[in-house]
Amino acid sequence: MSESFPNIRPWRKPGEHYKAKATVVGCFDDGFLPAFFEFIEVKGLDRKDAIILPGGAKSLSSPADEAHRKTMLWAIQTSVALHHSDTIILVLHENCGAYGGTEPDYKKELDAAEEYLRGFFPDTMKYEKWVSGFNGYRRLE
């Protein structure tokens, strides 16, 4: 017997297009995801593109393999092209397994991710850098 979830409805009508308020980059770690989606809700990003890949913004700043950086860049470029986002929100989280058990210099990592992206997007693109921790989210300048 197949499962059915009839009470789950799409959030938009077929053919309806939207402009994303932001493209939000985060990690796929299940311990991080509930707070990630709460963060998005608290920020009021009812229309966003969430890009969730291992390591999140680490894929841009210090990827284990260049293919990871290319995949993340492709996803962000697709979001911006299709949904016209003018803000990219980069998120790292504490205790991320992608760092192999060490805690990185979050500011350095997020600055490097932003710097990399600046080579692909217009000067009008806005960036936000955040760290998710065991005591909530904090923005880095």
Per-residue pLDDT at 27: 95
For 78-96, the DSSP string reads HHHHHH---EEEEEEETT-
pTM above 0.85, yes or no: yes
Please give the Cα distance from 1 to 62 (Å, whole number): 46
Percent of the chain with pLDDT over 70: 96
Taking all residues of the chain, what is their mean pLDDT, rounded to a whole number?
92
pLDDT tens track for 90-123: 999 999 989 888 889 999 999 999 999 999 999 9
Question: Is the pLDDT reported for residue 72 higher than 90?
Answer: yes
Q: Which domains can be identified in the chain, with CATH numbers? A: 22-134 (3.40.50)
Local confidence band at 1 (pLDDT 50, 70, 90 cut-offs): low
Question: Is the pLDDT reported for residue 11 higher than 70?
Answer: no
Nearest to 26 by CA among 77, 73, 117, 93: 93
Per-residue pLDDT at 4: 76
